[in-house]
Amino acid sequence: MSGLHKDRIDEFVEKIAQIEQQEPLPGITTAERRLCWAEQIVSSLRRISYTDALLVRAVDQSRCEPYSGIFDPVRGAIYLNRKGKLDEAVWLTFILTHFGKHIVDDWKFSENVYGSFHEGRVWTFANYSVDATEFEKILLENAAALASGRFSNHRKFQSKKPEAVARTFRTYYQWQTEFGGFRDRLVATHASVGQEPFAAFDALYKSMKDVFGFGGGRLGRFDFLTMLGKLQLAPIAPGSVYLDKATGPLAGARLLFFNNRDHGITGKALEARVDALDEILEVGKQVIEDSLCNWQKSPEAYVYFRG
């Protein structure tokens, strides 16, 4: 392995050994598995470092514009936030999270829906606010194009039917605007639970339960909220790995603690033990859940995975 944080691999192998001194980890007793997980931890840290690097770089306005040739909703959200357009930045973050970045198609799915499939207006937060009915009409008219779109791996089980996509946008919009704008939502959250980043994240996570395609599970809202934090759109961070209703991270935790991906223990029962790993690893809960998810896919040898 080469690149950023590669010099920390031995550090994490040593920290894994420290964890083993406190409690048995049957799934990681070989040197190969310890090294592989350490490499996945480094890989997860790199993804966060990449976002951190974007925050200090110049961003072209064309990053926000579908079909500009350089459309990139992550950079686009950064640009919009710098221009004081928080609601637009959060909205674009929702869109990039919902469709995800496909390993081949890149941001094409987001681009097509956000840009009316080359046939109409850009569905910014402002445009959607005044004409959601027209947006849903365009989805119906482009049902074939929707069906051929490809979600990222994290979103691969989402429906491509126009009605389902419309419902996701509609219920998400209701969530973002429940108190006015997103800033108002943050103010209400802070008034309820305080400004501590973990507590605010948890309150927002729970508040998304009615967002179709996000609230029924955990990955969509976890990815969305962690991205808001990474892009500095909200002062929040996950204080837990949120294993309840998890799939890949839960399989990784089961493999780690029981050497069995299919062990019957629930995510809720295992969550505190996984959260406690960070007392030694000190990398944050997002890195732990991401690295366990990827490690369990290939526990003996490092493979790079992109969500």
Report the pLDDT value the prediction gives residue 305, as an integer from 0 to 100: 83
- Positive/negative CA dihedral, 261, 263, 269, 274: negative
What's the whole-number mean pLDDT along residues 62-66?
97
Report the pLDDT value the prediction gives residue 71, as an integer from 0 to 100: 98
**Mean per-residue pLDDT of the chain:** 95
Report the pLDDT value the prediction gives residue 62, as an integer from 0 to 100: 98
pLDDT band at 217 (very low <50, low <70, confident <90, very high): confident
Q: Tell me the per-residue pLDDT of 226-247, one tens digit each, with 9 for 90 and over.
A: 999 999 999 999 999 999 989 9
- The proportion of the chain whose per-residue pLDDT surpasses 90, expressed as a percent, equals 92
pLDDT band at 307 (very low <50, low <70, confident <90, very high): low
Q: Tell me the per-residue pLDDT of 245-282, one tens digit each, with 9 for 90 and over.
A: 899 999 999 999 999 999 999 999 999 999 999 999 99
- Structure-model confidence comparison of residues 47 and 6, the more confident one: 47
Report the pLDDT value the prediction gives residue 41, as an integer from 0 to 100: 97
- Positive/negative CA dihedral, 271, 273, 276, 282: negative
Report the pLDDT value the prediction gives residue 259, as an integer from 0 to 100: 98
3-state secondary structure the chain: CCCCCHHHHHHHHHHHHHHHHHCCCHHHCCHHHHHHHHHHHHHHHHHHHHHHHHCCCCCCHHHHCCCCCCCCHHHHHHHHHHCCCHHHHHHHHHHHHHHCCECCCECHHHHHHHCHHHCCCCCCHHHHHHCHHHHHHHHHHCHHHHHHCCCCHHHCCCCCCHHHHHHHHHHHHHHHCCCCCHHHHHHHHHHHHCCCHHHHHHHHHHHCCCCCCCCCCCHHHHHHHHHHHHCCCCCCCCCCCCCCCCCHHHHHHHHHHHCCCCCCCCHHHHHHHHHHCHHHHCCCHHHHHHHHHHHCCCCCCCCCCCC
What's the whole-number mean pLDDT along residues 143-153?
95
**pTM surpassing 0.85?**
yes
What's the whole-number mean pLDDT along residues 104-120?
95
Alpha-carbon gap, residue 255 to 21, rounded angstroms:
18
The answer to whether residues 97 and 103 touch, using CB atoms and an 8 Å cutoff, is: no
* Cα angle for residues 178, 166, 63 (degrees, 5° grid): 85
Report the pLDDT value the prediction gives residue 290, as an integer from 0 to 100: 95
Judge whether residue 1 has pLDDT over 70. no
Judge whether residue 98 has pLDDT over 80. yes
pLDDT band at 131 (very low <50, low <70, confident <90, very high): very high
Q: How many CB atoms lie within 10 A of CB 245?
A: 14
What's the whole-number mean pLDDT along residues 50-69?
96
Residues listed for the chain: 307
Report the pLDDT value the prediction gives residue 118, as an integer from 0 to 100: 92
Place of tokens 């603690």: 257
Report the pLDDT value the prediction gives residue 2, as an integer from 0 to 100: 55
Report the pLDDT value the prediction gives residue 154, as an integer from 0 to 100: 86
